[in-house]
Amino acid sequence: MGLVRKKSAAAPSGPAVPDAQAAPPVDPLAALEEADPSVRRDAAHGLGHAAPPGAVAALVRRLETEGDAGVREAILTALARIATDEAAAALLPFLDREDAALRNAALESLQQMPAGVAAPALLPLLRHADPDLRIFAVQGLGGLAHPGRADWLAAVLERDADVNVGLAAVEALAEAGSPEALSSLETLARRFPDDAFVAFAVDAARSSFNGG
């Protein structure tokens, strides 16, 4: 008769004992205010993928004072991912900051949003009294794949009184490859006939449209 290994006694069944060492769930909104930048960065990443009510306001509030570049980037990426009308509108005030890096990053975040979300936020800036903000609006709209892009920029060429805003529109149209705006480019040249920069920019854009 062969040897048979005895079965070990089964552990008694019963309710699971909770792990006393398990950490409580982290509130990502509260974690945005933690002292550790890595915690704030992780919280921003998490909010970009699952945004509870109040996420946009919390992210923007943190961005107002955030000094860590990595956390800033995570917040801006999160807002671009959330991509709601609220998120787009919340980025606009950062286009008026003295911090050039923050201004440019905010504009890039807007451009990463769907065009149907970013464009309605940027369009009102084309009528802003500050020409610098109008330039940012032109640059932002120029980077959007939207069917109205060429018409919006053409209107800038035909109406904006600031030559630098017009030049920004020429550059945006040339980069977007919008030959349908050629007549508006010629209008800008006629509006500023003595400006050598305008003549050069219009000639360059015309050549790019013609494959030159």
Model confidence at 1: pLDDT above 50: no
pTM exceeding 0.85: no
Question: What pLDDT score was predicted for residue 206?
Answer: 83
Question: What pLDDT score was predicted for residue 18?
Answer: 52
Give tens-digit pLDDT for 19-51: 545 556 678 899 999 999 999 999 999 999 999
Model confidence at 11: pLDDT above 60: no
Residue 172's pLDDT band, with cuts at 50, 70 and 90, is very high
Question: What pLDDT score was predicted for residue 3?
Answer: 47
Mean pLDDT over 131-142 rounds to 96
**Are residues 79 and 109 in contact, defined by beta-carbon separation less than 8 angstroms?**
yes
Distance CA 49, CA 12 (A): 42
Distance of CA 150 to the CA centre of its chain: 21
| Closest among 179, 186, 187, 170 to 211, alpha carbons compared | 179
Give tens-digit pLDDT for 60-88: 999 999 999 999 999 999 999 999 999 99
Model confidence at 129: pLDDT above 70: yes
What are residue 104's phi and psi, to 5 degrees? -65, -40
Which domains, ranges and CATH numbers included, belong to the chain? Answer: 27-113 (1.25.10.10), 115-211 (1.25.10)
For residue 93, the number of C-alpha atoms closer than 13 Å in the C-beta half-sphere is: 7
Question: What pLDDT score was predicted for residue 174?
Answer: 87
> What whole-number percentage of the chain has pLDDT above 90?
75
Question: What pLDDT score was predicted for residue 139?
Answer: 95
Tell me how far CA of residue 84 lies from CA of 5, 112, 122, 144, 183, in angstroms: 65, 12, 14, 16, 35
Residue 15's pLDDT band, with cuts at 50, 70 and 90, is low
Give tens-digit pLDDT for 83-126: 999 999 999 999 999 999 999 999 999 999 999 999 999 999 99
